[in-house]
């Protein structure tokens, strides 16, 4: 397959010469870029004339066969309404491609994300001022409540998009929003080991978390950052910086769909997400640092069905902690993660405000600390 580097203007001329095209304030054409996770860069330049796309030019370092398919993509985009959703745009591109066309390193969906970015409907990491909140020890219930509070704030535009590292002292099990406490947690093990059980707002599975044994972080972001990116692809997209940080520490990690982070040695973590109606989004991850596997199996009901599709009979074998793989202190790994995130996205250090902490504690009393919330799924 030959490599193509496309540039130059392609697309049909406007049929409304009297109408003025929409440009950025500085007079340039609308321009969007999107680096496909694990793939290539897609670039779109276009005008909007009479509420429709015009003078469209798609380019990038991707591969495409046949050569003429690029013109087909440009033509498929030309004339689409400015209000088109990412799904509308992707469908138009797919329908416009000749039979047997090969897109390597990008997709119709990637073109849609790039167009939405050009229109400022979708945002990139660089469009936001990111903040990082370093670890501070808080009760697990407060950590879970803060996830709801801060996601709401980012959605409402009251806080910049933020990365927050958790810390806690009491041993805990944090279960997914839709899990049954009865099915996931062994009451005898919980009592024996003094475990606090908390339900979070995101889906996914139960996490066994002891102080110093896990690395947990939450990303609070606007949903515009993942506009047009599929639910499944958004996980790897939002954690690309983590993979880079782990690589810097000598660990090659990858996503096992949908939400497991693994190395060739085994699973090291899992992610979960929640999207709020106000446009805020939560993406959080727990990675094993030095887990007590015997205690974990004593506390969680990890059934045979759960393990059967993972190709292993033992829950202990599924988890391979970062301490063994890196030989580094937990704090050193968090420092490396913070450094990579800060460098990549120009983030600045931030802190939790008293108002945020007060609101989180209030929600623990009213919601996250109640039996009603904990047992909302029988």
Closest CA to 258 of 239, 228, 236: 236
Write out pLDDT tens, residues 57-88: 999 999 999 999 999 999 999 999 999 999 99
Measured CA angle at 184 (ends 181, 188), to 5 deg: 85
Residue 140, preceding bond cis, omega within 30 degrees? no
**Whether residue 317 has pLDDT greater than 80:** no
Pairs from 11-19 (Cβ < 8 Å, separation ≥ 24): 11/46, 11/54, 11/55, 11/56, 11/57, 11/74, 11/75, 11/77, 11/78, 12/54, 12/55, 12/75, 12/78, 13/55, 14/47, 14/49, 14/54, 14/55, 16/49, 16/50, 19/49, 19/50
Prediction pTM value: 0.88
69 and 97 in contact (C-beta within 8 Å)? yes
Write out pLDDT tens, residues 224-252: 999 999 999 999 999 999 999 999 999 99
**Whether residue 331 has pLDDT greater than 90:** yes
What is the average pLDDT value for the chain, to the nearest integer?
90
Q: Give the percent of the chain with pLDDT over 70.
A: 88
- Residue ranges of domains in the chain, CATH in brackets: 21-122 (3.30.390.50), 126-374 (3.30.930.10)
């Amino acid at each position: 397959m030959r490599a193509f580097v496309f540039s130059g203007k392609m697309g049909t001329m406007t049929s409304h010469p009297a109408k003025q095209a929409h440009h950025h304030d500085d007079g340039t054409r609308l321009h969007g870029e999107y680096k496909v996770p694990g793939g290539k860069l897609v670039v779109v330049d276009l005008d909007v004339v009479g509420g429709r796309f015009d003078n469209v030019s798609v380019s990038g370092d991707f591969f495409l066969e046949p050569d003429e398919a690029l013109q087909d993509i440009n033509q498929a985009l030309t004339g689409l309404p400015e209000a088109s959703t990412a799904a509308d745009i992707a469908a138009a591109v797919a329908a416009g491609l000749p039979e047997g066309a090969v897109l390597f390193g990008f997709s119709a969906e990637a073109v849609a994300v790039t167009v939405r970015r050009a229109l400022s409907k979708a945002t990139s990491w660089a469009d936001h001022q990111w903040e990082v909140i370093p670890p501070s020890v808080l009760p697990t219930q407060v950590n879970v409540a803060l996830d709801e509070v801060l996601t709401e704030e980012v959605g409402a535009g009251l806080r910049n998009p933020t990365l927050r590292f958790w810390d806690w002292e009491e041993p805990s099990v944090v279960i997914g929003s839709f899990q049954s406490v009865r099915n996931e947690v062994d009451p005898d093990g919980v009592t024996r080991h003094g475990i606090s059980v908390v339900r979070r707002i995101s889906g996914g599975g139960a996490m066994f978390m002891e102080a110093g044994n896990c690395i947990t972080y939450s990303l609070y972001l606007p949903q515009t950052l993942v506009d047009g990116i599929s639910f499944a692809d958004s996980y790897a997209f939002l954690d690309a910086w983590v993979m880079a940080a782990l690589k810097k520490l000598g660990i090659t990690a990858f996503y096992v769909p949908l939400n497991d982070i693994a190395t060739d040695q085994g699973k090291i973590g899992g992610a979960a997400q929640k999207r709020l109606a106000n446009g805020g989004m939560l993406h959080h991850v727990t990675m094993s640092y030095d887990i007590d596997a015997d205690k974990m199996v004593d506390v969680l009901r990890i059934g045979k069905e759960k393990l059967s599709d993972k190709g292993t009979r033992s829950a202990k074998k599924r988890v391979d902690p970062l301490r063994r793989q890196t030989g580094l202190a937990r704090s050193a790994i968090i420092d490396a993660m913070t450094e990579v995130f800060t460098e990549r996205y120009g983030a600045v250090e931030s802190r939790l405000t008293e108002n945020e902490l007060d609101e989180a504690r209030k929600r623990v009393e009213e919601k996250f600390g109640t039996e009603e919330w904990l047992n909302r799924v029988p």
